[in-house]
Amino acid sequence: MKNRLKVLRAERDWTQADLADRAGVARQTIVALENGKYSPSLVLAYRFSRIFGRPVEEIFDPQDEDGEANE
Amino acid sequence: MDYFLAMESQIVNPVKRANRRYFIEFGVAMVAYVVVIFASRWLLRGPMEHAAGGWQIAIAVLPVIPVVLVFAAVVRLLRATDELSRQICVDSLAIAGGVTALLAVTYGLIEGGRLPHLSAWWTYVTFMATWGVASLFVQRRYR
């Protein structure tokens, strides 16, 4: 699943470790999310929504490059 | 121990706290395992050498208690860590269980006459080794 975590994190000048601490996850989870290797649960997606003050659909895009729903 | 607990309380991220707690619990359990296994061997070769069979079995299995503590520490870590770490751990355990079962069945079919009979210990050793290797491969999928 594509997402804007890296951009939103960079806008705030946060490191991956900073975001991991705020989200209460391991840094490897942030790495996996930013690289599109892992799709978060709804609970975690809403946590990022609260952290960045943006709706979930503005952060995560369930459409892959072919326009099909991913997972 | 107080030093580690004080450090633990300063960590806000629950995953870091869970990891630190796991390493402390794992370390304590491993030290207990070494102490108990030496004590058990000493008792069976010394003061309890001629004790009743039931007592000897009870003393021989005493080292299982710290192993149970390790198991409890792993379960606590799984419950407290984040969703991806939990998925990696559970996937690795599933692969390790499957590979160990496959190897055990395969060896069971060819041992006896063709190959030497192996101790049940090898099942445990194989499982733990496979779990470690599987963890590395599963983690790579998420980098």
ipTM: 0.83
Q: What is the rounded distance in angstroms from the CA atom of residue B90 to the CA atom of residue B74?
A: 11
In chain A, domain spans: 2-56
Contacts of B14 in chain A (CB under 8 A): 24
Mutation target vs B (from A14, A15, A25; most B CBs, 10 A cutoff)? A25
* H/E element, A61: strand A60-61
Selected from 3.40.640.10, 2.60.120.380, 1.10.260.40, 1.10.10.10, the CATH number assigned to the domain covering A2-56 reads 1.10.260.40
Is A26 close to B142, i.e. CB distance below 8 A?
no
CB B79, CB B105: distance < 8 Å: no
Which residue of B lies nearest to A26 if distances are taken between CA atoms? B15
Q: Do B83 and A37 touch (CB under 8 A)?
A: no
How close B7 comes to chain A (CA, Å)?
Answer: 16
Which of A21, A40, A43 is nearest residue B13 as measured by Cβ atoms? Answer: A21
Q: Is the pLDDT of residue A68 over 60?
A: no
User: Using the beta-carbon criterion (under 8 Å), do B142 and A28 form an inter-chain contact?
Assistant: yes
pLDDT per residue, tens digit, chain B (143 aa), is 555 545 544 557 889 999 999 999 999 999 999 999 999 999 988 887 888 878 889 999 999 999 999 999 999 999 999 999 999 999 999 999 999 999 999 998 888 778 888 888 899 999 999 999 999 999 999 98
Residue A13, phi-psi category: left (phi > 0), alpha (psi -120 to 50), beta (remainder): left
Of A20, A28, A31, the CB nearest to B13: A20
| DSSP sequence for A10-21 | HHTT--HHHHHH
Q: Do B15 and A31 touch (CB under 8 A)?
A: no
Contact A26/B15, CB-based, under 8 Å? yes
Q: With a cut of 60, say whether residue A7 has pLDDT above it.
A: yes
Distance from CA of B84 to the nearest CA of A (A): 6
Instruction: Inspect the interface and report whether the beta carbons of B143 and A35 lie closer than 8 Å.
Output: yes
pTM over 0.90: no
